[in-house]
Amino acid sequence: SSEVLKAIENVIEGVFKSLAQKKAPVLTLAKRSDWRNIEFKDSVGLQMKPRCTTRQIRSDCPSSAPRFALMLKILSMIYKMVQSNTYATKRDIYYSDTLLFGSQSVVDNIINDISCMLKIPRRSLHILSTTKGFVAGNLSYTDEDGTKVNCTCSATVFTVPSNVEGIKNLISHAKFMLIVEKDATFQRLLDDDFCNKLSPCIMITGRGIPDLNTRLFVRKLWDSFQIPVFTLMDADPHGVEIMCIYKYGSVSMSFEAHHLTVPSIKWLGLLPSDLQRLNICKDVLIPFTKQDQNKLASIQKRPYIACQPAWKNELEIMAASKLKAEIQALTSLSSDYLSRVYLPNKLQFGGWL
């Protein structure tokens, strides 16, 4: 707490010093979404370079003055919350003055900029994000408020905790972790009792692009149990993108990569080569859109693809066929093919990349 308060005080002190010298105060921020500021490290993923290009939020420029004011406003809210040991969600902050902030995305962006500027993880700023991820399987833990959560004893889905740092007493006999892209597939595997049938496992879904808490939770489980982590995604550029976020991180959150990425993640399925191997009927495959082609081309140029020749090969198969498939395409073989045949065979015979 004292570290956070001191960091905010330093920023405000800088503002006062500028005013005392009759200069317009300026806030200097790293360009978070610029690939030139990002380096790829195999053991971490995408991380921000120590010396990166910056941009200035000036208080004397009509285009940036409103943002400068909003950053000071949110800094003061964070300062009060840290002092009083209270927490708020990003949504709470937006709804405290919707007219002032204008939109939720403005608040989200400023919070990430502040976190990056102060070099302090967002959860240490006492800001919680709403969790959308789910977890099930062989896992129990104690929540920050002392509630015991036991995912093992039932087919019940639990929401990923909103304060991952606060959970303790994690216990699991799982042999592996399976990250599932979509909620529908996650529910189907749960209905088929997949978590117990083959061998005990932990299943997680971020329900599409994962939120920060889901990524923190996957990392926490991996740190705690050091078990293999597999991903089950659609065979399309969007699915590959989501898997890369779990494994290597995202450009905009690269300043927090050490807490968020799990570089040991393996691609279990659905592989583009599986579509040919299993002779999936062309009728259930979906033609690429222009957006798909652009997304795939962008992924193929990323630094981490060069060190993954097997992944590179799969992306080339996808690019050549210009076809994509959802995991549900496997139901064209049989209704329970995914849980009864596809996953058990992959896990038993090492069919991952």
Q: According to the model, what pLDDT value does residue 153 have?
A: 66
CA 353 to chain centre: 20
3-state secondary structure 176-201: EEEEECCHHHHHHHHHCCHHHHCCCE
What are the chain's domains? 2-128 (1.10.10.10), 134-349 (3.40.1360.10)
* 7-63 residue pLDDT tens: 999 989 998 999 899 988 888 888 877 777 888 888 888 888 878 878 888 888 888
Q: What is the mean pLDDT of residues 235-255?
A: 88
Q: Which amino acid is at 191?
A: D
Confidence of residue 154 (pLDDT cuts 50, 70, 90): low
* 263-288 residue pLDDT tens: 999 999 889 999 888 888 888 889 99
The answer to whether 95 is a known catalytic residue is yes
Q: According to the model, what pLDDT value does residue 182 have?
A: 92
**Regarding predicted confidence, which is higher, 105 or 258?**
105
pTM, rounded to two decimals: 0.85
Q: How far apart are CA 239 and CA 236, in angstroms?
A: 5
Closest CA to 209 of 232, 242, 173: 242
Q: How far apart are CA 202 and CA 244, in angstroms?
A: 20
pLDDT over threshold 80, residue 183: yes
Q: According to the model, what pLDDT value does residue 180 have?
A: 94
- Beta sheet of 168-171, edge-to-edge order: 148-150, 140-142, 168-171
Neighbour count for residue 182 (Cβ, 10 Å): 20
Of the candidates 95, 141, 246, 342, the residue annotated as catalytic is 95
Which residues, in sequence order, are CB contacts of 188 under 8 Å at separation 6+?
Answer: 338, 339
Name 179's bridge partners.
204, 231
Q: How far apart are CA 34 and CA 169, in angstroms?
A: 39
Q: How far apart are CA 333 and CA 126, in angstroms?
A: 49
Q: Is the peptide bond before 270 cis (omega within 30 degrees of 0)?
A: yes
Q: According to the model, what pLDDT value does residue 164 have?
A: 85
- Distances 353 to 84, 215, 229 between C-alpha atoms, Å: 48, 21, 12
